[in-house]
């Protein structure tokens, strides 16, 4: 099983609360010498969750300490989560002096950054409580419970969850922003990885391509005579075991695709996402307009063009002026998509890098500009046949 598939399966076990199976996979993932620091921290964080659910406080303590040690960002989500778990595990192990020191260490590091008005007083209240014999055990437990509640609220609003890089767990690559990740997710290599059933060991023949779950059937000839004249080319299963594996492989591929959708790694283009939202919207007219008030638009030539020759080439240059940055530029019509493409895009006379001739996602922030921004977009048409193209 590849590391990407192992990570995917481990997350599935976490979701299903199969703690022991998840730990086994995280142990294997952590043994990989090619992991990045971010991956190690992520695996340790998730493995610590499993240990916590199994009440293995010693292992929670070890993993939490390693997360804190490896991370350079004291205010990251994983580090704060590790500090909270460390305090809990040390208290559960009756290592009260160490729990006190862990609370003090967290408080010191918080003081260097933004301090939550809810978390700081709780940490201060916990200091000394672990080793103070005059305090009841219940008071400390109550403080820890309140810390749990307030920490969840704090991380929801104040902490940035890791990683700082956006990653594709299937191809094991990282990018500095979502626009680069989106381009990667539309590559053939990524799509093959998402839609394959690689990552697990299979015993029988691969299932036929293009079949759905209910299309897999037992071969009648094989069922009657234990032989088939089509041999390995037969598109029906040669035995119950092979049929069962084909269906399992189909379910595995569906699970990978569903997980990719959940993680926004399925590779949908901006156009596909926009058209999907438009088709599902209760009021589609609010999503698309031919004219927008704050955008001045101009085209270099008439939109409708008639030519007499079969081999034709034409281009339009659109000029758009607006104080708001464009999020994306895309060609929406699918019918004649192979005849139209984006040739160039200029923003403030600066030529943009086009990685896709059907759409462009802006790498710029979308805040409003003080002065109008001018975009120049050239759309090219080409054909070798007669027809009407839109």
- The pLDDT score that the predictor gives to residue 111 is 52
Number of domains in the chain: 3
Q: What is the mean pLDDT of the chain?
A: 77
| Residue with the two structure tokens 């921290």 | 41
Give the least confident one: 5-14, 235-244, 279-288.
Answer: 279-288
- The pLDDT score that the predictor gives to residue 159 is 45
Residue predicted with more confidence, 33 or 167 = 33
Same-domain check for residues 151 and 170? no
Residue predicted with more confidence, 356 or 316 = 316
Tokens of 266: 């399925």
**Confidence label for 144 from pLDDT (cuts 50, 70 and 90):** low
Q: Inform me whether the pLDDT recorded for 148 exceeds 80.
A: no
97, 129, 156 - which closes a domain = 156
Same-domain check for residues 148 and 214? no
Dist CA 19 CA 385 (whole Å)? 61
Same-domain check for residues 128 and 175? no
Same-domain check for residues 13 and 107? yes
Same-domain check for residues 241 and 333? no
Residue 202 domain-assigned?
yes
Neighbours of 139 (CB within 10 A): 12
Same-domain check for residues 63 and 201? no
Dist CA 176 CA 153 (whole Å)? 28
Q: Inform me whether the pLDDT recorded for 310 exceeds 90.
A: no
Same-domain check for residues 103 and 234? no
Q: Please give the average per-residue pLDDT across 275-279, as a whole number.
A: 73
**Confidence label for 1 from pLDDT (cuts 50, 70 and 90):** low
Q: Inform me whether the pLDDT recorded for 8 exceeds 70.
A: yes
Residue 179 domain-assigned?
yes
Helix (H, G, I), strand (E, B) or coil at 73: coil
228, 253, 268 - which closes a domain = 268
CATH of the domain at 85: 1.25.40.10
Whole-Å CA distances, 226 to 189, 203, 218, 222: 38, 18, 11, 4
- The pLDDT score that the predictor gives to residue 145 is 58
**Confidence label for 158 from pLDDT (cuts 50, 70 and 90):** very low
**Confidence label for 129 from pLDDT (cuts 50, 70 and 90):** low
Same-domain check for residues 83 and 62? yes
- The pLDDT score that the predictor gives to residue 184 is 78
**Confidence label for 95 from pLDDT (cuts 50, 70 and 90):** confident
Same-domain check for residues 17 and 138? yes
Q: Please give the average per-residue pLDDT across 73-102, as a whole number.
A: 82
> Which range of residues forms the domain containing residue 301?
295-383
Residue 205 domain-assigned?
yes
Dihedral angle over CA of 37, 41, 43, 45, nearest 10: 180
- The pLDDT score that the predictor gives to residue 65 is 92
Q: Please give the average per-residue pLDDT across 217-222, as a whole number.
A: 90
What backbone torsions phi and psi does residue 204 show, to the nearest 5 degrees? -95, 180
Residue 321 domain-assigned?
yes
Same-domain check for residues 143 and 8? yes
- The pLDDT score that the predictor gives to residue 156 is 47
Q: Please give the average per-residue pLDDT across 24-47, as a whole number.
A: 89
Dist CA 383 CA 254 (whole Å)? 38
Same-domain check for residues 185 and 205? yes
Residue 27 domain-assigned?
yes
Same-domain check for residues 37 and 67? yes
């Amino acid at each position: 099983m590849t590391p990407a598939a192992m990570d995917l399966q481990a997350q599935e076990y976490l979701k299903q609360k199969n703690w022991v199976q998840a730990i086994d996979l995280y142990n294997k993932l952590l043994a990989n010498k090619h992991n990045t620091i971010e991956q190690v921290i992520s695996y340790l964080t998730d493995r610590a969750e499993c240990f916590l659910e199994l009440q293995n406080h010693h292992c929670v303590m070890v993993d939490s300490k390693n997360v804190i040690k490896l991370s350079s960002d004291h205010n990251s989500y994983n580090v704060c989560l590790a500090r909270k778990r460390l305090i809990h595990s040390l208290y559960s192990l009756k290592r009260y002096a160490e729990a006190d020191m862990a609370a003090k260490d967290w408080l010191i590091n918080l003081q260097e950054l933004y301090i939550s008005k809810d978390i700081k007083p709780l940490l201060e209240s916990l200091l000394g409580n672990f080793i103070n014999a005059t305090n009841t055990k219940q008071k400390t437990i109550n403080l820890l419970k309140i810390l749990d509640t307030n920490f969840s609220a704090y991380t929801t609003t104040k902490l940035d969850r890791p990683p700082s890089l956006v990653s594709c767990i299937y191809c094991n690559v990282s990018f500095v922003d979502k626009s680069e990740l989106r381009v990667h997710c539309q590559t053939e290599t990524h799509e093959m990885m998402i839609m394959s059933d690689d990552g697990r060991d299979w015993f029988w023949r691969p299932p036929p391509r293009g079949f759905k779950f209910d299309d897999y059937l037992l071969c009648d000839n094989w069922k009657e005579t234990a032989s088939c004249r089509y041999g390995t080319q037969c598109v029906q299963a040669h035995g119950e075991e092979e049929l069962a594996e084909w269906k399992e492989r189909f379910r595995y591929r569906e699970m990978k695709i569903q997980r990719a959708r959940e993680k926004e790694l399925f590779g949908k283009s901006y156009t596909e996402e926009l058209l999907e939202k438009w088709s599902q919207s209760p009021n589609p007219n609010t999503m698309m307009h031919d004219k927008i008030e704050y955008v001045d638009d101009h085209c270099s030539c008439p939109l409708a063009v008639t030519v007499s020759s079969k081999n034709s080439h034409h281009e339009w240059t659109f000029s758009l002026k607006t104080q708001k940055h464009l999020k994306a530029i895309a060609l929406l019509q699918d019918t004649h998509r192979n005849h139209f493409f984006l040739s160039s895009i200029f923003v403030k006379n600066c030529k943009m890098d086009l990685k896709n001739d059907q759409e462009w996602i802006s790498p710029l922030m979308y805040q409003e500009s003080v002065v109008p921004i001018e975009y120049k977009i050239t759309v090219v048409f080409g054909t070798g046949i007669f027809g009407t193209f839109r």
